[in-house]
Amino acid sequence: MYKSKITGLGMYVPERIVKNDELTQYMDTNDAWIRERTGIEERHWVNPGDGNTTSKMGTEAAKIAIERAGLTPQDIDMIVFATLSPDYYFPGSGVLVQEQLGCNTIPALDVRNQCSGFVYALATADQFIKTGMYKNILVIGSEVQSTGLDLSTRGRGIAVIFGDGAGALVLSRNEDNDDSDILSNHLHSEGKYAKELTNLVPGGIHPPRELVEEWPIDDLSYYPYMNGNFVFKHAVVRFPEAIMEGLQANNLTPQDINLLVPHQANLRISQFVQKRLGMKDEQIMNNIQKYGNTTAASIPIALTEAWEQGRIKRGDLVVLAAFGSGFTWGSNIIRF
C-alpha cells in the first residue's frame, strides 16, 4: 500500500462579490438576519456572460494546484470532480476539465454527493493512490449555484446561503518517505432523508419534457428545497460523529487536531461542532463569512485559504468533515 500526499492546492472564485445588502434588492431579507443565522457577510456569484461555469472554475483552481505541485496537466493520471451543479445534465464536468487542461485521455469521474462531495471525492482518489494504480490525481469541487436559486422572498431561506466557487488539490503517491498520508476516510449515507435537501426537477422522474409541456405553474420543484431546521439538527449530530469516528480509528483525540476544515454550511454549525469537541478557535477554519456555502467547493476553498495563510504545515493533523444532502456525511483524517 502506498501513502497519499497532498502536493498542491488551488482555488478560484468569480470576481463579483454579492454583499448581504445587495440581496435586499431581490427579496425581503436583511444583513442582520443573515449574519446572525449563518455568519455570512458576502459571497461570490458568477455574472451572466462572464464565462464562469462549474467546469471552467474547476479548471482554474486545478491549474493553480497542479503548478504548486510542481507538475503539468500531462502528469495527472485521473480527475475526480465533485459538484451538484454540473455544466450539463450529462456528460459530467470531469471530462470537460480533462479537455480544458489538455490532459492525456485519463479517466474522469464525477461524484454526486453535494456538500459531502469533496470528502467522498478525496476518499475515492485515496483508494487509487493506495493501491498503486495512479500516481497523481486531481480532486476538484466546484459549484455555480447562484443561477439556479429562487431570488424572490419565497426562496430566501436558501438563496442567501449559497455561493459560487471552486477548489482543487493534487493527491500524489508519497515518494518522499515522510509521514504524509490520508490516515482514514469514513463515509455514510441515509437516503430516507433524500427529500429534506433536494432539487427534484428536472430528473428521470420529472424529465425536461414534462417541465416544458405540462408543469403546474405553482410547483417550484425546479428550485432547490431545504428543510433548514431539520437539516441543521442532523448536521450538528453527524459532524461530530464523523470526526470522532475518524479520530478514534487512529487513536487520536480532538486535541491532536492542528486544523479542522469543516464543510462551510453555517457558522453556527461549525461553532456548535467546535464546542462539542472542546476545540480552540485556532484549531478550526471558518471562511463562510466571505464565500457563503459553496457546497462541494467549500472544503477545498477553505483548505487552500488555510494553507495560503500559513495555518497548515507539513506533518500537521488536518481533519476534513462534511454533512449534507442525501443525507450524506463523512470525514478524512490527514497527516498533511
Q: Catalytic amino acids?
A: 115, 263, 293
Determine if 145 is a binding residue for ligand UT7 (CB under 6 A): no
Footprint on residues 3-32 left by ligand UT7 (CB under 6 A)? 29
Q: Between residues 157 and 202, which has the closer beta carbon with respect to ligand UT7? A: 157
Whether 234 and 323 have beta carbons less than 8 Å apart is answered as yes
Determine if 231 is a binding residue for ligand UT7 (CB under 6 A): yes
Q: Between residues 233 and 313, which has the closer beta carbon with respect to ligand UT7? A: 233
Q: Are strands 108-111 and 136-143 parallel, antiparallel or unpaired?
A: unpaired
Determine if 273 is a binding residue for ligand UT7 (CB under 6 A): no
Residue nearest to ligand UT7 (CB): 228
User: Which pairs from 201-206 meet CB under 8 Å and 24+ separation?
Assistant: 202/89
Alpha-carbon distance of 251 to 90, in angstroms, equals 42
- For ligand UT7, what does the binding mask look like between residues 159 and 198, x meaning CB under 6 A? -x--------------------------------------
Q: Between residues 7 and 20, which has the closer beta carbon with respect to ligand UT7? A: 20
Among 4, 7, 20, 38, interactor with ligand UT7 by CB under 6 A: 38
Determine if 40 is a binding residue for ligand UT7 (CB under 6 A): no
Determine if 37 is a binding residue for ligand UT7 (CB under 6 A): yes
Among 229, 251, 282, 310, interactor with ligand UT7 by CB under 6 A: 229
Determine if 320 is a binding residue for ligand UT7 (CB under 6 A): no
Among 157, 189, 225, 271, interactor with ligand UT7 by CB under 6 A: 157
Peptide bond into 128 cis (omega under 30): no
- Cβ at position 68, least distance to ligand UT7 in Å: 27
Other beta carbons within 10 Å of 314: 12
Alpha-carbon distance of 70 to 64, in angstroms, equals 10
Footprint on residues 56-115 left by ligand UT7 (CB under 6 A)? 115
Determine if 155 is a binding residue for ligand UT7 (CB under 6 A): no
* Secondary structure in 3-state letters for the chain: CCCEEEEEEEEECCCCEEEHHHHCCCCCCCHHHHHHHHCCCEEECCCCCCCCCHHHHHHHHHHHHHHHCCCCHHHCCEEEEECCCCCCCCCCHHHHHHHHHCCCCCCEEEECCHHHHHHHHHHHHHHHHHCCCCCEEEEEEEECCHHHCCCCHHHHHHHCCECCEEEEEEEEECCCCCCCEEEEEEEEECHHHHHHEECCCCCCCCCHHHHHHHCCCCCCCCCCEECHHHHHHHHHHHHHHHHHHHHHHCCCCHHHCCEEEECCCCHHHHHHHHHHCCCCHHHECCCHHHHCECHHHHHHHHHHHHHHCCCCCCCCEEEEEEEECCCEEEEEEEEC
Q: Between residues 73 and 330, which has the closer beta carbon with respect to ligand UT7? A: 330
- Cβ at position 219, least distance to ligand UT7 in Å: 20
Among 171, 242, 269, 296, interactor with ligand UT7 by CB under 6 A: 269
Q: Between residues 23 and 140, which has the closer beta carbon with respect to ligand UT7? A: 23
Which residues face 284 on adjacent strands?
260
Q: Choose one: 156-164, 202-210, 211-219, 270-278; the region binding ligand UT7 (CB under 6 A).
A: 156-164
Determine if 228 is a binding residue for ligand UT7 (CB under 6 A): yes
Q: Choose one: 96-104, 199-207, 210-218, 224-232; the region binding ligand UT7 (CB under 6 A).
A: 224-232
Among 82, 235, 267, 302, interactor with ligand UT7 by CB under 6 A: 235
- Residues lying near ligand UT7 in the complex (CB under 6 A) are found at 29, 33-34, 37-38, 115, 156-157, 160, 228-229, 231-232, 235, 265-266, 269, 293, 324
